Every structure is written in structure tokens, then in C-alpha cells.
Amino acid sequence: MRRRACVVFTILVGSGLGFPSIASGALFPGATETDEQLKRLYDDAGDVCLRNPSRDVRVAVACKSMTIYGLALNERGWCYGRQSEANAQKDWHRCGADSDRFSLDQLTTF
């Protein structure tokens, strides 16, 4: 059952059907998670995505989840890393002109 839910989630995200509020500008206007909870969820998904060479569905879902959490945090003014930083230096900070931001395009590429 969990695998089926992961597959359905991946299909919905990839097709854009999971985001009816895109037209309104904000993807997650009613999200109840705190910023710290979203950052922790991002890190937890990263533990599965970035430390696993497997191409299993759960790994793909974890990687896409990182983008979704990143998009939600971007909406709240948080960005992960700056354009001039190496990956090892990147961390969450208040967004600025040189900040890296997540993109909806990242949800459709595998």
C-alpha cells in the first residue's frame, strides 16, 4: 500500500495535478508546518535521497520531496545556499538576490 501511495504521489507531482493553487501564485498558502518543521522534513528526505545510490521509487519520492519542502520554504522567504557557494557550504538563510531557489521544473525531471 505504501508503494502504491508513493507511485501515485510521484505521478501527481510530475503531472502538476497535485498543485491546484499554482494559478494563485502560492503553492502552499495553507501549510501548517513551521519553518523549522519544513527544514527538518527537507533534511530527513535528503538522508534518503542524497545518501542512497538506488533508483527505487522511495528514493525518487524523497528527492522530489526535498524540492517540495524547498519550494514551501522559498515561499516563506527561506533559501538554501547562495549561487557562489559550494554544495558543502550551503545552508538555510533568508533569501537574497544571490540565493539559490527551488523551481517547479525540478519536480518534472528525474
State pLDDT tens for residues 62-104: 999 999 999 999 999 999 999 999 999 999 999 999 999 999 9
pLDDT surpasses 50 at 107: yes
- pLDDT, tens digit, 9 for 90 and up, residues 15-72: 444 444 344 589 999 999 999 999 999 999 999 999 888 889 999 999 999 999 999 9
Cα distances (angstroms) measured from residue 73 to each of 4, 30, 56, 106, 108? 27, 13, 26, 15, 19
Cβ contacts of 66 within 8 Å, gap of 6 or more: 42, 45, 46, 49
> What pLDDT is stored for residue 55 in this prediction?
84
pLDDT surpasses 80 at 4: no
Where exactly are the structural domains of the chain?
1-6+33-80
| Helices and strands, number each (H, E), in the chain | 4, 2
> Which among 54, 99, 61 is positioned nearest to 80, based on CA atoms?
99
